[in-house]
Structure 1
Amino acid sequence: MDQVDESRKRTARACDSCYKRKIKCDAASPKCNWCSHHNLPCTFDRVVQRKRKQKDDDEDNDRNKNSRLSERISRIEQLLEEQMLRGSSADPINYSNTLDTNTENTTAVNSPTTSISTTTSTSGSNQGLLSASVGVHFAGRELGVISLLTGIPFLLPEGQEWIQARTGQTVSSEKLSPARPPWEKERGHSYNEILMNLRNEDLFALPDRRIVDMYFDAFKRSVVMPLVFPVVDDVLFAETIEEAYKQPQASFAFGQASTRACIIAFVAFISRLPPVKEMVASTSHDILHPDHEVLVSKAQFLLSQVIQEPASLEGAQAVIMMTLYEVSSGNMRATNYYGAIAARLIFMLGGNILHTRSYSHGERAQRKQQQLRTLFWVCYTMDKDVALRTGQPPTIVDENCDLTLPPGYAENAFLDPEDPTVNLTQPSFPFDLRLSIIKSRTHSALYSVSGVQKSDAELLKSIRELDDELEEWRLSIPPRWRPTMSFSAEASDPNASMHTVLLRLNYYLCISIIHAASSRCKSWREGTGMLDGINSSLALSVEASRSTLYYLDAAEHVLVDGVFWTLLFYPMSALLSIFCSILSNPLDPRSHEDLGRLKMATVMMERIFSRNLPSKEIIHFKLVADFVSELKRLAECAIDKAWREQSSAALSAR
C-alpha cells in the first residue's frame, strides 16, 4: 500500500529538473517532455515537504495569474535564455527597456473595420487604401497598419518617427511603405494586354480536347497532387469533360458557363503544378502547351456568367481552382475576391454541413456530396490562410460550419503517399485542417473587431489558450514529422519534403501571430506587473521568426521550382518581425545575430526562389531584394547609433 501511495505522489508532482526550473512537468514515463527534449535524467529524488497553502498565498496567486501566459512559455523562455547565455553572459532579452518616454502617445489600436482617420494624415495616394486597416504593433507601440485591401504594411507617422529615432536615418516611405507590397504581384497591366489580344478569339471556346485529356491523365497518375489539391473527382470530372465536348463549340447556351469555366480553370491551374508539368513534358512533345494567363483570363470572363447560373459543383470547382491559381501567382487581391465567391457557392450547395443521413440516390450522389465536402475543406484552409496574410476578416465563419474532420484524417494525414505499401485515398489538403482551425480561432480571438477591444487580462488569457491548443496539435503529430518548438542554424530535418516545409512554416507563423498580439497590451505603457510575461510572449514571436528563416535555409534542397509566390510571405513576415526586434533593443547580444540574418536573407531567398523564375517576374524579386536591403541598412544604423550613444555615455560618466 505504501508503494502505491508513493507511486501516486511521484506521478502527481514534478521531476527534479522541472521543479528546479519551476515549470510544469507532465510526469510522463520513462521521461517527461522537458527531460526527453533536453536529454536529461528524469529523477524524483528530492524530499517533498508538504505544507498547507495560506489564504494570502491563494489571493496572491489569483492576482498574479494574469501575468503568466502558460507553463509552456516559461519552458521555452528558459530554453531561449540558455541559448543566449551560451554566447554571452549578458542579461536575458528585455524589450521593456526600449520603450521611449513618449510611448504613452502611441495611437490607440484600430479595429480591422475602422478608419485610421484619427491618426496623422498620410499621403493622398495611400489614404484610400488605408480606409480599412488593422494595426501593426511591436512592444506596445503601433508602428503602422496593414491595408485590408492589399496587405501593405504602411508606416504611421509614429512608426516613422520611432524608426528615425532609433536609426538616426530618414525613413523612405517609398521603400518601406510602397504603393504595393513587393511580395505581391501586380497583374493589372498584363491582364489588360491579354484581354486586348483576346478580342479576336472565341472567349467561350474550350481548349483542345487532347490538351485537357493529357493534363487530366497526368494529374490522375501523379501520386501526391490529387491528395494535396483534390479539386476534382476523377469520375465526376470525366463526365464533365464528356458532356462539355458533346456540346457544339460554336454555340453557348445558358447553364454551360460553369462547365466550361471548370475545364478551363482546371487546365490553367494543373498545368502550373511542377510534378504534373514534368510528367506531361516527358510524355508529350508534339502538343503546344497552354498559356496559363490566357486560360485564366478566359475563365475570369466566364465567371460573370457562372454567378448568374444556379450554384453547381462545376462552378464551385472552377472558382476554387481560380483561387488557387491566383494565390500561387501572388495575386492576393484576386485571391480574396475568388475565395469569397467560392465560399458562398460551397454554402449554397451545402458543403459546409456534414450529411450523415443515408444516401438514397445511388453512388453518384454520394460521390458528389463527398466532393462538395472536400471542396469545403480546400476553401476553408485557403480562407484562413489568406485572412492571416492580409488581415482581412475570413469569409467562412466557424459557427456556420460542421468542422468534423474527414474519417481517418488524423491517422492518415502523415502517411507517405509514395510508400508502395500505403494506399491513400483521403486527401491531405494544402494545409493541415486542424492547424487551419487554430488559425481561424486565432483571428477570431486576437484580430477580430472584438479581439482588438479585449483588456490585457482577456488578451493574455486568449493567447495562453491558443498557445496551449497549438502545443496540443504539435504533440499530436507523429514524431517523424513533428515540428520542433524552435529551429536553429545547426539543426536539420532528415524527413523534409514540401509537405513538411509548409507544415513547419505555418506552425512558426501561428506561434508568431499568436504571441505578437501581446504587443497591443497597455502594460507596455503602464509598466505593470504583467510586463515580464508579455516580454516572454514577444520573445517567442521573434524566435519563431528566426526559426522560419533557419528552416527555409535547411530545407532548400526539397523546394520545387515555382514556389516563389507561395512561400515568399513567410520569410518576409519573419524579416519584418526581426527588424522590429533589432530596433527595439539594438544592444541585445542577439541583435547582432539578427543583423546577420537580415544580411544573408537576400542571398538565401535569391538562391531558393529565383531558380527558373520567368524573366518577366525577375523585376518582382528585385523589389523584394531592395526591400530587405533597406531593412538591413536601417537595422545596421540602429545598432551603430546605440553603440555610439553607449560609448559617449560611458565617457561622460568618467
Structure 2
Amino acid sequence: MQDDRRSGGPQGVGPYGSQFKVAIPRLPARRAPPPTTPKSRQRDRVQRACRNCHKRKIKCSGGLPRCNYCEKTDKACVYERPRRDRLATAKDRNQALVSVLRDLSLRVSDDDKRRIEDVLQDTNAAKSDEEAESPASMSSSSRASAAQQFQQHSRSHPFASSSSHVPFAPETLPTSDQSPLPRLDGIVAEESCDEDGTGARNCDVVEAGYLGQISEVQWLQSLRSRVQAVEAVFVGPADVSTSLSHPASPAFAASPISVPASPVPHVALTNYYLDDDGIKLADCGNPFELPPEHTAGLLFHCFSTTVHTSFPLLPPTLESQLRQYYDLVRHGQAIHCPEKWFALVNLVFAIGAKFSHLVQANWRADELDHVVYLSRAFQLLSMNDTIVVLSTPDLSTTQAAGLFAVYYMTLGHVNRAWVMVGIAMRSAFSLGLHIQDGNYSIPALKQQSMVRTWWSLHALESLLSSITGRPNIIPNEDITTPLPSAIPEIEVPGVTATADSRFLDADANLNLLTQQVISGLYTQRRSPPSWDYIQQTIVSLVGELDKWAVDYIPQFHQETWSLTHEQQREIFLLRLQYYRLKILTTRPSLRRIERCYEAGTDDYNSLDQSVADACIQAAQDVASLLTAELNLTALYEKGPWWSIVHNIMQSLAVLMNAISCSATFSDPSKNSVAAVHQLANWLRRMRETNSLAARAYQVVYSIVKTSDPSVWVDIADAFPDEMAMVVQQPASTPFDPKYLPWPGKEQSSDALFRYELDDFGNYHFHML
C-alpha cells in the first residue's frame, strides 16, 4: 500500500492540482425593477373628503351629490372648498363692503366720515388669515364684519379727537381672594381689551407711551367705563374764543424743522396730557441772540424763584455770569462764552417765558417766545445731529437734558419729559454722579453742583415715574450720593435765589420713598403677590410716610403765617407732595372697594375701608391746601406749577370714584363734594392760559355729562352746561416769524454783536 501511494505520488498532482479546479459560471446580473407607473401608486382615494368624513377621520368615497357614508347616515354632504378659493371670496366681499363704506362716507356727517375712515384703516391693517373662515359661516360673518367693526368703534370712541389714548379694559367681577380681584387693585395692568383675551394684541399703541395703573388717567378710565350712560355726547367749553379754538400756526406747519406727532386714529377720553401736540421749532436765526437785559432778568427770576429751588440744575455761577455778560455787552467789549452756556441760558428763558404766560405777567412777550428760546437751545446743542448721541457727556449736557425735561413737563408732554430725564440720568451715570466720589481734589463749588444735579434729576425721574407708572432707572440701594446737606453750602455773590439744603434733603428722601411705593405696589411681577401681602406693604409704607412728615415738616398742622415766604413755599410743596404720595400708597385699597361695589359683593375688610378713607381724606386735603391760596397767580408762584394740573386731576379721580360708590363712602361724601367743587373751580380758572388744564377740565366734564345723572347729582353744578363740541387738542396761536421777546416799547431782537470761531472751537463776540 505504501509502495502504491509512493509510486503514484510523482505522477499525480497534489490536492490543488489542475484536475481539481472547477469553473464557476458568472451570476446573471440582476435587472432593476421596472419603474412604477402612476397607476401603480394610485389608491382608492378621493382628492378632498367631505366635512363629515373629515371630522370622523374615515375614508370618503367622494360621491356626488353624497358620499357613501353620508348616504347611509342620511346627512348633508358638504365638500370644503380649497383655502385659496375661500380667501378669494372673502377678499371680494371685503372689497365690496369697503366700496359701500366709502360711498356712504360721502353722504354722512364729518364725525361719521371720520369713524368710517378709521374703520377702513383698521380693515386694511388686519391680517388676511384672521379673515379666513369656513364656507358655512362665510356668508354671514363676512357681510357683518365691517358693520361690527364700525359699531364697536362707535361705542368705544364716541369722541373724534387726536389726543393720546390708553387701552380700554373690561371690568372683572371679584368673587374671592383667589379671584382676579387682587390683581386689579393697582398691582398689575387691566385685562385685555376684549372678551376673548386677544385684545391685548389688538390694542392701539398709546401715543403718550405706557401709562400704568398708578396714573390717574387709568383711574378716570375705570370710572368712566363704570358710570357712562350714553354712547356719544360732544362736550367742550362754550367760549370758542378761548385757546381751545385757535387754529394751528401756519408758520410752524410750514417749518422744515418741525417734528410732527405721530397720527393717532383713536383717543382715550381720559388722557389729558398733550404729547400728541408734537414738537414745534422756530427758525430762530442767530442762536447766540439773547433778549435785552431787563427781559432776561425777569425771565431768570421766574425760573430761579420757582423751578430752581425745587430742581437746582443750574451751575451756581450761571446767574453772575449772565450779569457779567450783559455788562460787557453794555460796554461794547468782546465776549467769550461756550455754546453750552448759551444753551443753558436759553432753556432757562424758555421755562421762565412759559411761567410768565401762565401768570399773565404784564411784561410778557409773544405767546410763543418760549418756542424760540427752545429752538435756540436745540440748535446750540446740535440735538438734530448724530454726534450728540455719540459724544461723551459732560455736566453741562446733563444739566441741559434735565432742563429739557422740566420744559416738557411745563407743556404737559410727560412722555418727552420722561425720555429726556432718562437721557440725563444715563449721562449722570457716566459721570458717576450716583455714587459717592472720594476724589477730594474736586472744588467744593463743583462738588455741590454735581450732588444737587443728581438729586434734581432723581426727583424729576421719580415724579415722572409716578405719573406714568414706568419703572425707575436705578434702585435705591445703588445710590450712594450724599444728601445735599452733607456738602457744605457755598454762597456765590450775585445769586438771588438758592435752594435750602434741608428742603432738598426732605425732597430727596420723599423721592426715595416714592420709588418704594412704585416698586412695591404698582410694578408687575411674574407671580402677583397676595392681597394680604399688599395690605402689609401699604401699612408699612404709610408708616414710613408719616414718619417722614414728622421729621421734615414740624409745622405740618400749624399756621405758617409767621414764616417767611420761602419757608411757606417749601412747606406748601412738601405738604402737597406728602398728600400726593399718600394717595398713591392707599389707592389700591380704594380700587379694591370699587371693584367690590361693581360686583355687588363685600369682599373687603375693615383695614381696606380705613385705608381707602385715608386715600379720600388725602384728596380732600389737597383741595383744602389749594383753596387757602388767594388767586391763581399766588398758586403758580407758590406751588409746583409744572405739575399742579396732575395734582388736581389725581385728587379729582379719587374723589369722583368715591362719590360714584356712594353707598360705601356715605359718611365723607359731603366733604368730597365740596372738594370736587373747589378743584373743578381751579381747573376752570386755569384753562384760560393753560392748555393742559383746559383739556383736563374737558375730560372731567365729559365724564359727568355722559354718565347717569343720578350719580353726579351733588357735583353737577360744579360743571355748568356749555356748548357742545368735540373734545379736541388745544392748538397754538399764529406765530410771527419776526420775534419780539420783550414788551412793545423795546426794540426787536436784532443782533447786538457778531461772533467768530477760533481754532479751538470757541466763539468770540464783538459789538456791532
Q: Shorter-chain TM-score: which interval?
A: 0.5 to 0.7
Aligned partner of 1:555 among 608, 621, 629: 629
Matched, 1:582 2:659: yes
Aligned partner of 2:700 among 625, 628, 632: 628
CA-to-partner distance for each residue in 1:376-424, whole Å, 9 max, x for gaps?
Answer: 0100111111111121222333232115322369x99xxxxxxx9x998
Deviation at 1:319, TM superposition (A): 0.8
Matched, 1:293 2:334: no
Matched, 1:328 2:410: yes
2:645 match: 568
CA distance in 1, matches of 2:301, 2:224: 50
Moved more, 552-561 or 431-440: 552-561
Change beyond 3 A, Cα 1:404–1:563? closer
SS in 1 for 2:619: helix
1:454 match: 529
Matched, 1:506 2:577: yes
- Paired residues in the alignment total 481
Contact 2:451 2:481 in 1 (8 A): no
CA distance in 2, matches of 1:434, 1:508: 15
Deviation at 1:227, TM superposition (A): 3.6
CA-to-partner distance for each residue in 1:428-460, whole Å, 9 max, x for gaps?
Answer: 459722211111111111112249822122211
CA distance in 1, matches of 2:587, 2:547: 20
Matched, 1:303 2:392: no
SS in 1 for 2:651: helix
Aligned partner of 1:398 among 466, 476, 492: 476
Give the aligned residue type for 1:508.
Y
Give the aligned residue type for 2:701.
S
Give the aligned residue type for 1:578.
L
Change beyond 3 A, Cα 1:186–1:330? same
CA-to-partner distance for each residue in 1:344-387, whole Å, 9 max, x for gaps?
Answer: 1111111111224422x6x3xx4323212111010011111111
Residue correspondence of structure 1 range 174-213 to structure 2 within 5 A: 178-179=267-268, 181=270, 183-186=272-275, 188=277, 191-192=279-280, 195=281, 197-198=282-283, 201-202=284-285, 205-208=287-290
Deviation at 1:527, TM superposition (A): 7.8
CA-to-partner distance for each residue in 1:234-291, whole Å, 9 max, x for gaps?
Answer: 3367679999x99xxxxxxxx976455333323323444559999995xxx9x99992
Aligned partner of 1:470 among 527, 540, 545: 545
Contact 1:492 1:554 in 2 (8 A): no
SS in 2 for 1:453: coil
Give the aligned residue type for 2:422.
A
CA distance in 2, matches of 1:221, 1:265: 10
1:544 match: 618
Contact 2:582 2:615 in 1 (8 A): yes
CA distance in 1, matches of 2:220, 2:212: 10
CA distance in 1, matches of 2:299, 2:206: 44
Contact 1:381 1:433 in 2 (8 A): yes
Deviation at 1:126, TM superposition (A): 5.9
Contact 2:275 2:413 in 1 (8 A): yes
Contact 2:235 2:701 in 1 (8 A): no
2:221 match: 155
Give the aligned residue type for 1:323.
A
2:455 match: 377
Deviation at 1:492, TM superposition (A): 9.1
Give percent identity, aligned residues only: 15
Residue correspondence of structure 1 range 480-499 to structure 2 within 5 A: 480=555, 482=556, 497-499=568-570
CA-to-partner distance for each residue in 1:321-346, whole Å, 9 max, x for gaps?
Answer: 11111112222121111111111111
Deviation at 1:636, TM superposition (A): 5.0
Structure 2 segments unaligned to the other structure (5+ residues): 1-171, 237-265, 329-336, 490-495, 715-768
RMSD over aligned Cα atoms = 5.0
Higher helix residue share: 1
Contact 2:652 2:676 in 1 (8 A): yes
Change beyond 3 A, Cα 1:273–1:355? farther
SS in 2 for 1:433: helix
Change beyond 3 A, Cα 1:343–1:266? same
Give the aligned residue type for 1:185.
L
Scaled by the length of structure 1, the TM-score of the pair is 0.60
Change beyond 3 A, Cα 1:131–1:181? closer
Moved more, 233-242 or 390-399: 233-242
Change beyond 3 A, Cα 1:569–1:442? same
Contact 2:211 2:218 in 1 (8 A): no
Change beyond 3 A, Cα 1:130–1:118? farther
Aligned partner of 2:681 among 577, 582, 603: 603
Matched, 1:407 2:485: yes
Give the aligned residue type for 2:471.
P
Contact 1:220 1:226 in 2 (8 A): no
Change beyond 3 A, Cα 1:541–1:154? closer
Contact 2:462 2:511 in 1 (8 A): yes
Contact 2:302 2:352 in 1 (8 A): no
2:350 match: 268
CA-to-partner distance for each residue in 1:64-108, whole Å, 9 max, x for gaps?
Answer: xxxxxxxxxxxxxxxxxxxxxxxxxxxxxxxxxxx9787967694
Give the aligned residue type for 2:644.
L
Scaled by the length of structure 2, the TM-score of the pair is 0.52
Contact 2:354 2:410 in 1 (8 A): no
Give the aligned residue type for 1:162.
R
Give the aligned residue type for 2:583.
S
Aligned partner of 1:437 among 502, 507, 512: 512
RCO comparison, higher one (Cα < 8 Å, 6+): 2
CA distance in 2, matches of 1:371, 1:541: 37
Contact 1:114 1:132 in 2 (8 A): no
Change beyond 3 A, Cα 1:543–1:181? same
CA distance in 1, matches of 2:180, 2:537: 26
Deviation at 1:475, TM superposition (A): 0.9
CA distance in 2, matches of 1:212, 1:310: 36
Change beyond 3 A, Cα 1:560–1:530? closer
